[in-house]
Amino acid sequence: IVAAMCEVEQSLTNLAPDGDYEERKKLYEDLGDMATEIGSFTTALIYYHLMLECVEKCNKKREALIECYVSLAQTYKDNRQYWKALEYFKKELELEENNPSEACKTNMNIAELYTLMGDTDRMIEHYEKAKINSES
């Protein structure tokens, strides 16, 4: 994996400094995914934040933002930074509010975070929201 990461890093250096945000986004996502695979969550978070910057610079659609938010949320969760994970799952939820099946999944993820944080009331609240989403 480390050799593959070096190759992707090299690909990044070959891109123009300003521009190619679409390609940069993909490369940063690949690097974040590889860093996650080897358990280097702090490094993965750096790459996922760079991925998000690229998406914001090229005015990508909501689907690309959702990808970024999910990657960040899951990696913060894996790194046991539950409040930060919650922040990004909530951003995802804002974009998924009109998609009941995805909102259901996101509410389940949020409920799980509240379970890990020991907040039973909010956990129940989000499980109930997930149930409502699943019935839509």
Summarize the chain as % helix, strand, coil (round to 5).
80, 0, 20
- Is position 28 within any domain? yes
Q: What angle do CA 94, 52, 24 make, to 5 degrees?
A: 145
- Is position 125 within any domain? no
**Which structural domain range is residue 15 located in?**
2-96
- Is position 134 within any domain? no
> How many percent of the chain have pLDDT more than 70?
99
Q: What is the pLDDT of residue 21?
A: 87
Per-residue pLDDT tens for 20-36?
A: 888 889 999 999 999 99
Of the pLDDT bands very low, low, confident and very high (cuts 50, 70, 90), residue 16 is low
Contacts of 67 (CB under 8 A, 6+ apart): 29, 55
- Is position 129 within any domain? no
- Is position 112 within any domain? no
Q: What is the pLDDT of residue 136?
A: 81
- Is position 90 within any domain? yes
- Is position 132 within any domain? no
Per-residue pLDDT tens for 52-101?
A: 999 998 877 889 999 999 999 999 999 999 999 999 999 999 999 899 99
Q: Mean pLDDT across the chain, nearest whole number?
A: 93
DSSP string, 12-78: HHTS-SS--HHHHHHHHHHHHHHHHHTT-HHHHHHHHHHHHHHHHHTT--HHHHHHHHHHHHHHHHH
> Considering the entire predicted model, what is its pTM?
0.91
Number of domains in the chain: 1
- Is position 120 within any domain? no
Q: What is the pLDDT of residue 58?
A: 84
CATH code of residue 41: 1.25.40.10
